[in-house]
Structure 1
Amino acid sequence: MAVKDRDRFSTATRIRLLGEQTAARVYRSQTKRQARRSRLTGRAALLALVLCTLIVAMAYPIRQYVSQRAEISDLQREKEDAAERVERLRDLKARWQDDKYAEQQIRQRLHYVMPGETGYIVIDPDAAKQSRADLGAADRPWYSNVWDAVDKSDAADQ
């Protein structure tokens, strides 16, 4: 037993035992790490596949939802514009119910005057020259005026 004890405590034996223990630990940790890595990789792949499937499945409904929300927003804006226009038209209708406003508009737009008043219309000098040039057109038959207008437009195109 003394030989065995001495052999057990020799440096070479201890180094050999330490090497074997270390190798066993390294082997165990590598196999655990590989097992853990392979499990996580499979899980990660499955998770990625599920996420991609969900994204693809939800892409069309989300796009529809966004486009419908934009359409609803546009329709609400149009509704507000229409409500403003209705309000303006109601105001205009209420103004036209007033006789004084109607009289003012008739005088302004149709150049009407009340009995005893003198109406004046100021003509632009350039417009007066142009109307004098067309004065001869009133003396001719209507079809001559039409034909002259066609000739003028044809000359303008060339």
Structure 2
Amino acid sequence: MAVKDRDRFSTATRIRLLGEQTAARVYRSQTKRQARRSRLTGRAALLVLVLCSLVVALAYPIRQYVSQRADIADLQRQKEQARQRVEQLRDLKARWQDDSYAEQQIRLRLHYVMPGETGYVVIDPDAARKARLDHTAADRPWYANVWDGVDKSDASDQ
């Protein structure tokens, strides 16, 4: 009987029926998707609107928070550096309280000698030769530079 039913319909009829069935399935799936889409569209739009509002409302405070955390970290670093510097200065102050350290530094920095001692300054011959060739203002005493300036200004007036 199945053979008779199949023969009863021509190929064109069968193709047309298949097309109609397929079109009906596609139409049903589209309407379901549209129904689902229309249901979610309003909710999704509201959700997106709420999320955007939250992002806009929280953007500035979060930026301020991050900026302040960076400032706090910078201030803590400066505080630690200042603490270390204070510690160094306290050590230096304690050393200067010692008379032998002060005397040593005075002799070293100012070239002072004790009464009865003879002070000598040893000059490296290579450095002296180089100084004679270079004659830079930084290598000479300050008063020599002042007198050179006076001599130059006096010579330019004549």
TM-score interval w.r.t. the shorter chain?
Answer: 0.5 to 0.7
Deviation at 1:75, TM superposition (A): 0.7
- Seq. identity, %: 74
Deviation at 1:35, TM superposition (A): 2.9
Cα distance in 2, alignment partners of residues 50 and 150 from structure 1? 83
Cα distance in 1, alignment partners of residues 29 and 132 from structure 2? 107
**RMSD after superposition:** 3.7
Q: Which runs of 5+ in 1 are unaligned?
A: 1-18, 153-158
Deviation at 1:43, TM superposition (A): 0.7
Per-residue CA deviation, residues 61-89 of structure 1 (Å, 9 max, x unaligned), is 11111111111111111111100000000
Asked if 1:146 corresponds to 2:154, the answer is no
Per-residue CA deviation, residues 31-55 of structure 1 (Å, 9 max, x unaligned), is 5543332111111111011101110
Normalised by the length of structure 2, the TM-score is 0.63
The count of residues paired between Structure 1 and Structure 2 equals 126
Deviation at 1:149, TM superposition (A): 5.6
Aligned-partner residue type, residue 92 of structure 1: L
Summarize the alignment of residues 1-158 of structure 1 with structure 2, pairs less than 5 Å apart.
Answer: 31=31, 33-123=33-123, 124-126=127-129, 127=131, 130=135, 145-146=149-150, 148=152
Deviation at 1:113, TM superposition (A): 1.0
Cα distance in 2, alignment partners of residues 73 and 150 from structure 1? 58
